[in-house]
Amino acid sequence: MTNTALLKDLQDLIEVNLDPSMFPYQKGNSIRIGKMVVRESKKGFMIFDCKDQKQIAILFSKTAALALAKSLSSGKDNTKKVMELDNTIQKNYMDALFFNSTYKTTTDPAKKDISLNRLEIAKMRTNRAKDVLDSIIFR
């Protein structure tokens, strides 16, 4: 790109009307995105709609809670997709805990290898789901 094209792109970015309420910020023990509040509870991460004064959902992972709050605040409804990804993260996290425990406690070499392989698969699936959720948050 030429310098003039770069300058024009920079000027376009500066002049875009961005809604400052759509940027997440932490206030106390909660994270606010637009009219949504994400707060950690005993059951997981709770999403609360401040405008309508109602609870939207309780999710297992903070990443999924932020993704859902961001999508609902921006007017998009990715609730089903985010909930499925959160369930994937939860299942694979629990699987990883189990396989890690099995790997550490077993003396059978075959079980050790299988547990290690399944642990890596669970971590990979969890990271893949988090990457998709990150793309929802940062787009």
Q: What is the pLDDT of residues 22-55, one digit of tens each?
A: 577 788 889 998 889 999 999 999 999 988 889 9
Specify the pLDDT at position 62: 93
Measured CA to CA, the distance from residue 70 to residue 78 in angstroms comes to: 10
Token pair 């409804």 is at which residue? 77
Q: What is the residue type of 124? A: M
Query: Is 59:83 a contact under the CB 8 Å cutoff?
Result: yes
Query: Is 30:38 a contact under the CB 8 Å cutoff?
Result: yes
Query: Is 52:34 a contact under the CB 8 Å cutoff?
Result: no
End-to-end CA, the chain:
24
Specify the pLDDT at position 67: 92
Specify the pLDDT at position 112: 95
Query: Is 12:4 a contact under the CB 8 Å cutoff?
Result: no
Specify the pLDDT at position 11: 77
Specify the pLDDT at position 18: 59
**Residue 54 CB-half CA count within 13 A:** 2
Specify the pLDDT at position 29: 86
**What residues contact 139, with CB distance under 8 A and at least 6 apart?**
none
For the cut 60, the answer to whether the pLDDT of residue 4 exceeds it is yes
Per-residue tokens: 121: 């698969």
Q: Write the pLDDT tens digit of every residue in 62-114.
A: 999 999 999 888 888 888 999 999 999 999 999 999 999 999 999 999 999 99
Measured CA to CA, the distance from residue 29 to residue 136 in angstroms comes to: 23
For the cut 60, the answer to whether the pLDDT of residue 131 exceeds it is yes
Find the mean pLDDT for residues 118-125: 96
Measured CA to CA, the distance from residue 105 to residue 114 in angstroms comes to: 13
Banded model confidence at residue 59, pLDDT cuts 50, 70, 90:
very high
Give the three-state DSSP class for 25: strand
Banded model confidence at residue 21, pLDDT cuts 50, 70, 90:
low
